A and B are shown apart, each in its own frame.
Chain A
Amino acid sequence: MSDNNTNKGFSFATFWQRFGTITILLLLLVVLAIARPNAVFSSTSIPQILRQSAVNILLALGEFFAILLGYIDLSISAACGLTGMCSALLMRANCPWVLACIAGVLCGTMIGALNGFMINKTGLHPFIITLGMQTVYFGLMLVVSNSSSVYGFPAGFSKFMNATLWGVLPVGAIIALITAGILWFLTARTKMGRNLYALGGNREAAWYSGINVHRHQMLVYMISGTCAGLAGIVLTGRLNAAAPTAGTGYETFAIAATIIGGTSFFGGVGKIPGVVAGGLIIGIINYGMTVMMIDASMQKVVMGALIIIAVTLDHLVSTSAKK
């Protein structure tokens, strides 16, 4: 949104705003390639990275919309787990797998609509609502699954979810990219997308300009829920099982990916391609730490630190750009 053609001369701030995400991505690949040369560019590693990133990207795409409004959606992790669980249970109940998947995604949309409805009706900050709903959805997951994992899906589902296109593009990644494409179109080419940026920049001004705040908020949370639904299906497919605690902590990854992808935490600024790159970065970090044998607990420490660094950088750059 902040294309500034008038800028002459080199400014780190503008460079970072435009190319920061790509720079991080390339740096990471270089570091990883030096540390573990054969773990990066092999025929098995690329699909592996993409498969791991797909869920991150999908969740980050949903989170992007909430953050674009200057809000947040903490419930996507639970929504992702719950929708995955729902489809898994449907498949176990002999529902055709395609239908079960569609039902799962729609379940995500409805979860988002419920979030949106509560936010609009109560007028409370979405942080509170989605934090509460996260707990509700995680609780529901335990209830419907009887606190045990669900597995043993139809062969068609497992085969489809584990297929790769040309040997490098896993189905999950294809779903993520198609979703990103649609959402990119929405944000960059439609009035609705433009309205969201206006809302993120100045909510009250947007209301006076004729942009209905509630309608757009509802839509944003429905998009976010739908993305979580898609992520739930992809996750279930990747693990070939639905765990009763699946998705725990994923909202952190999604927020990190969104911010690293150049979305401003203060709302109104950000682009879909950046978010995709952000999701990829998180995927690569996770993958890299795994191949470097860093244990899961330590991975969390690193991830948390990264989020703080990313948000700090975002803040520093946006304030220094004003001088």
Chain B
Amino acid sequence: MEPLIRMVGITKTFPGVKALDGISFDIMPGEVHVLIGENGAGKSTLMKILSGVYQPTSGKIICNGREYDQLSTKTSVEEGIAIVYQELSVINELSILENLFVGKLPTKKFMGLSVVDFKSMREKAKVVLEQVGLHHDPDTLVGDLAVPDKQLCEIAKALVSGAKVIVLDEPTTSLTTSEVERLHGLIRELKAKGCGIVYISHKMKELKAIGDRITVLKDGTYVGTYPAAEITLDELIKLMVGREIKGTYFADESVDELMTHPVIFEAQGITRSDRTCRDISFQLHEGEILGFAGLVGAGRTETMEAIFGAVPKSSGKVFLKGKELHIKEPYAAIKQGLGMLTEDRRKLGFAKNFTCKQNISIEPYIKESTWGGLGGMLSNAKEEKWANEQISALNVKCTGPEQMTVDLSGGNQQKVILGKWMAAGSEVLIFDEPTKGIDVGSKSEIYILMRKLAKAGKGVLMISSEQTELLSVCDRIAVFHGGELKAVLEGKTATEEDIVRISTTE
């Protein structure tokens, strides 16, 4: 069988970085070709060359028998390639419907003029929205959707044009198990229709479930391509990171022992003004990591935003080491020792005009500033110290502290955001999807880091949509449903079924 697309000897250099070095890659009809590798290995760059966002420094791309030195975004679409980017590219100011058809509005003839055909637009939209499972009115503004729904919208956008080759760059980072399963069902349907799919993900379990062939990249070079059925996860991880990974990261003590430790952080009856979370109370003991599970919109992020002062709460109290905190804005929260790693890194995570050094310095500067954040001097020596420490501690792949954060790979951007909170040395850290888009090796390092923080007496709260992660890191897991905290489970003994049951039933 002829491949749908063949990329041959692709090399791409950015100023100071060789992102890809002679990579060959092909996509067969009716297969899911998985692409894996550590953060910064070059996966997204390779796919952006396919979609015409980047032009290769050298190499060839062969689509349907036609040979190209480079693709433009236009030819890429014409060759039937659709891509779901890792960083959400939906437009917040437009409705779901408009987003689906950006740049490709269907037209019809009306009195000799070609006009937008809204009727066929709506019909097509209905079908794809149903397929991906996005049950919102198509006229809803995308800006009003939660992150996972945006991700579904992004996927629907790729489907609507009827592409033959669909690239999914980390499509499931913020989806929960049931949504992931639905997506996989959809992928199987597309496969049966003869589409070729490229699937990039750091969630290792998914790969075996959905992939036919798996290609591994490392530092921009090609490692190999393996049939998914014949290779084990451990072997893959070894190929990717070159060592084995620990299974669980629980505290040394049992939960009963942990419960005898003093409470370092407590939330009492948190209710948001918009009532997306109601009457949430929990306690965090010294040395433990408390996880938060639940479906999209269950109120986990919403609770944390209210605690952090980013959105107003109508009632509720927050205590740090027994002392009540008065938080009206994030500034106050940070000054009093809280930190929050936000879920939506593009929108809320970092300043796109800042270098890594400047981004990492934001929080420590705020922490020691005066006059409501207005007072205080900059110090280059301090910035250098913070940046260098975090870059090496978190193993950020960058050309140095002076590199722009936007130019890093997705996972490495996440590490920079993590770095700014580490540099600030907060007393209690709220991690909202901390390992989103982070490779297996670094994930493990982050879990170890969180455990170290907990051991050192810092408070660690972790929201995650990945249940396996919660079940291997958190000593206790609070399960949310419909804006309320339903139950607190013990991490070591709970199962995925328990979490799913509580988070889906009243």
Contacts and interface: CB of A to CB of B under 8 A. Distances in A.
Interface of A: 1-9, 11, 188-195, 197-198, 200-202, 204-212, 215-216, 219, 267-269, 323
Given A5-B402, A6-B400, A215-B372, A209 B377 contact: no
Contacts of A198: 351, 354, 362
A215 B362 contact: no
A4 B373 contact: no
Nearest to B403: A6
Contacts, number: 123
Interface residues of B, number: 44
A189 B378 contact: yes
Given A189-B378, A216-B374, A208 B16 contact: no
A4 B350 CA distance: 18
B16 A1 contact: no
Contact of A210 (B330, B351, B358): B330
Chief secondary structure at chain B's binding surface = mixed
B348 interface: yes
A269 to B, nearest CB: 6
A70 to B, nearest CB: 10
B369 interface: yes
B195 interface: no
Given A5-B402, A191-B369, A208 B353 contact: no
B67 to A, nearest CB: 22
B348 A210 contact: no
- For B330, B347, B353, B354, which residue has the most chain A Cβ atoms within 10 angstroms? B353
Interface string B463-487: 0000000000000000000000000
A206 B354 CA distance: 12
Contact of B16 (A3, A6, A190, A201): A6
Given A210-B333, A211-B373, 4 more contacts: A7-B15, A197-B358, A209-B330, A211-B362
A201 B148 CA distance: 24
Interface of B: 15-17, 54-55, 308, 310, 329-331, 333-335, 340, 342, 347-355, 358, 361-363, 365-366, 369, 372-378, 399-400, 402-404, 420
A191 B377 contact: yes
A207 B351 CA distance: 11
Q: Which 9 A-B pairs have the closest CB atoms?
A: A201-B351, A6-B16, A201-B353, A268-B353, A210-B334, A191-B376, A210-B366, A210-B331, A210-B330
A211 B351 CA distance: 12
B366 A211 contact: yes
A212 B369 CA distance: 12
A216 B366 CA distance: 14
Given A4-B404, A210-B331, A323-B55, A205 B376 contact: no
7 contacts: A6-B403, A8-B15, A188-B378, A191-B375, A209-B334, A209-B366, A268-B352
A210 B329 CA distance: 7
Contacts of B354: 1, 197-198, 201
A189 B373 contact: no
A8 B13 CA distance: 12
Nearest to A211: B373
A8 B373 CA distance: 37
Given A192-B374, A197-B353, A215-B372, A208 B55 contact: no
A58 B365 CA distance: 30
Contacts of B15: 4, 6-9, 11
B369 to A, nearest CB: 5
Given A6-B402, A210-B334, A192 B375 contact: yes
Contact of B342 (A208, A211, A323): A208
A205 B348 contact: yes
Contacts of B373: 191-192, 195, 210-212, 215-216
A306 B10 CA distance: 43
Contacts of A188: 378
A204 B378 contact: no
B417 to A, nearest CB: 9
Nearest to A219: B374
B403 A210 contact: no
B402 A212 contact: no
A165 B159 CA distance: 70
A318 to B, nearest CB: 10
Contacts of B399: 6
Contacts of A204: 347-348
A18 B362 CA distance: 25
